[in-house]
Homo-oligomer: A and B are copies of this chain.
Amino acid sequence: MAEEPDAASRRPATIGDVARLAGVATSTVSRALSTPGRVNEATRQRIVAAAAELSYVPSTQARSLVSGTTRTVALLVPDIANPFYFGLIRGAQRQLRAAGYAQLLVDTEESAEIEAETIDLMRKSADGVILAASRLDERQLAALAQRQPIVTVNRDVPGVPSVILDTPDGARQALMHLRSLGHRRIAYVGGPADSWSNARRWQALEAAAPELGVELHRSGPWMPHADAGAAAADTVVGTATASIVFNDVLAFGMLRRLRERGVRVPEDLSIVGCDDVFGADFCEPPLTTVAAPIEEAGRVAVTMLLETIGGTGSGRTRAVLPTYLRARRSSGPAPTD
């Protein structure tokens, strides 16, 4: 194999090049490649060979121009560096690849503005959008969903299909767990003020506390970053003997602070996180946490979105995925007051 002229030529092969080489019309090439049944087997083979020789790749742009469809789905997450979204991203990507779709990942940097702007842009570039932990308000979300297929994750707005991780239930489990260990004064260390999940978890705890005989305290709002954990930890020490924390990342920061202050976990203060993020079993002590099937959430979101796009909508518009408490060592017995 000496020179390969086609490889050297800068311009990628078009359907016209393939047609010329195979001695057929472009429409035949198109058919051979997308509706193999409707073309003579011999010519089909000739065409496939020609395409291979020119290493022809169909232009997705041209295709979508005529089909009006892009076979691309956008996934918007508030913070790509938050390990919580890893599983979601991966689950979505797997399901998308299987369906022959590409994934456009966008980090909206916790900004409602960037989010809205991106969704609008995507109206032409993607067939649909998956919104993780959207920062938009209900009205906006509902309006946008009118215009283009949208599925939300961890955000429930009437009329917008959604995948919900039932973390309020997980929080309830955590509360019972701590209570059964003997804790009576328990704090909820809350996440961002505009977080929908956060509000729902608090509600669930508030509802469950009385009948358990738990004195419930509230701390926050806190940003879901490890750095915020220091201040958060300080608010809890002395107030409660156990805490349920918005998410693991925040809990990591608390753990670090408590170690600095010499407050022992779980002996002096119990901690329960949420998400079962990467690292939750490596930290000191390993973190008891509300684990959620986040990768599955990604897959389900894609499935629902593709149903919406395809109009195959079985009508399922809301999926609630169960969570469970993964008890490790950061929630020991209640300290004797």
A102 sits at the interface (CB 8 A): yes
Interface size on A, residues (CB 8 A): 46
B107 touches A125 (CB 8 A): no
Interface residues of A in 51-86 (CB under 8 A from B): 55, 57-62, 64-65, 70, 80-81, 83, 86
Comparing A116-124, A188-196, A200-208, A238-246, the segment that makes contact with chain B is A116-124
Pick the contact of A61: B80, B124, B143 (CB < 8 A): B124
Pick the contact of A283: B7, B65, B284 (CB < 8 A): B284
B279 touches A124 (CB 8 A): no
- Which residues of the other chain, B, contact A81 by a CB distance below 8 angstroms? 86-87, 90, 278
Give CA–CA (A226, B59) in the complex, Å: 41
Copies in the complex: 2
A218 sits at the interface (CB 8 A): no
- Which residues of the other chain, B, contact A125 by a CB distance below 8 angstroms? 60-61, 102
B105 touches A103 (CB 8 A): yes
A93 sits at the interface (CB 8 A): yes
B282 touches A256 (CB 8 A): yes
A285 sits at the interface (CB 8 A): yes
B284 touches A285 (CB 8 A): yes
